[in-house]
């Protein structure tokens, strides 16, 4: 996956996190689509913790700590970035900046009964419109898509159940990626080198 695509994937991960206080613990396959790429991976959630895995990277979101970690397995290193409600559009019943929500009826998505919503919210002063298919029993949106179809995220093979705490921690033996040693703009290049070394 090219560096630009990886950045977009991480960005979309932040846009659809299922970190609602009442969301069920679950794992699922996830497909993210934009006009430039389609990426498949796995997602694991436990309360306000989320782990997203793709072949090129693993992202751990710890909303309880307001941080995000991006793991680089080939280097046994990780990057850390602060997060906050201002840069996470949470996949829940009300989004930050939301100004309009209209229920459009019931639909079944991948075996889950959902309510489809048309949502308008402000993003840096600009109106953005998306659709969400919200599964009330799971308390998450199992599908999110922009009105113009420029990107979409969908969960399949959803399995409800407690997730191991170890999934949401930095693995033993990993060291923090140091900005003093390598410039941040080169981080994704390092990750690409890591993939080549591991044959991914």
> Could you report the per-residue pLDDT of 89-99, keeping only the tens digit for each?
444 456 778 89
Better-scored residue on pLDDT, 190 or 69: 69
Residue 134 counted as domain residue: no
Interval 175-181 mean pLDDT: 65
Q: What is the CATH number of the domain that holds 8?
A: 2.50.20
Residue 35 counted as domain residue: yes
pLDDT value for 17 = 55
In 77-149, at which residue ranges do the beta strands (DSSP E only) sit?
A: 77-82, 98-109, 112-123, 126-135, 140-146
Give CA separation, 195 vs 165, 188, 189, in Å: 26, 11, 10
Residue 124 counted as domain residue: no
* pLDDT surpassing 80 at residue 49: yes
* pLDDT surpassing 70 at residue 59: yes
Binning pLDDT at 50, 70 and 90, where does residue 111 land?
A: confident
Work out how many domains the chain is built from and give that number. 1
Residue 77 counted as domain residue: yes
Parent domain of 186: 3-92+153-198
């Amino acid at each position: 996956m090219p560096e630009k695509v990886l950045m977009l994937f991480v960005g979309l991960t932040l846009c659809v996190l299922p970190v609602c206080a009442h969301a069920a613990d679950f794992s699922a396959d996830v497909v993210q689509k934009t006009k430039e790429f389609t990426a498949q991976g796995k997602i694991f959630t436990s309360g306000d913790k989320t782990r997203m895995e793709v072949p090129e990277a693993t992202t751990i979101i710890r909303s309880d700590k307001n941080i995000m970690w991006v793991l680089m397995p080939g280097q046994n290193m990780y990057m850390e970035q602060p997060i906050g409600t201002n840069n996470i559009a949470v996949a829940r019943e009300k989004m930050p900046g939301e100004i309009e929500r209209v229920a459009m009826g019931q639909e079944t998505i991948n075996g889950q009964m959902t309510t489809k919503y048309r949502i308008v919210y402000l993003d840096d002063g600009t109106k953005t419109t998306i659709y969400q298919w919200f599964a009330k029993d799971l308390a998450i949106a199992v599908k999110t898509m922009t009105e113009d179809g420029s990107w979409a995220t969908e969960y399949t093979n959803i399995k409800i159940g407690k997730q191991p705490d170890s999934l949401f921690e930095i693995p033993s033996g990993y060291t923090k990626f140091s900005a003093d040693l390598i410039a941040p703009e080169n981080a994704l290049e390092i990750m690409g080198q890591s993939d080549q070394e591991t044959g991914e």
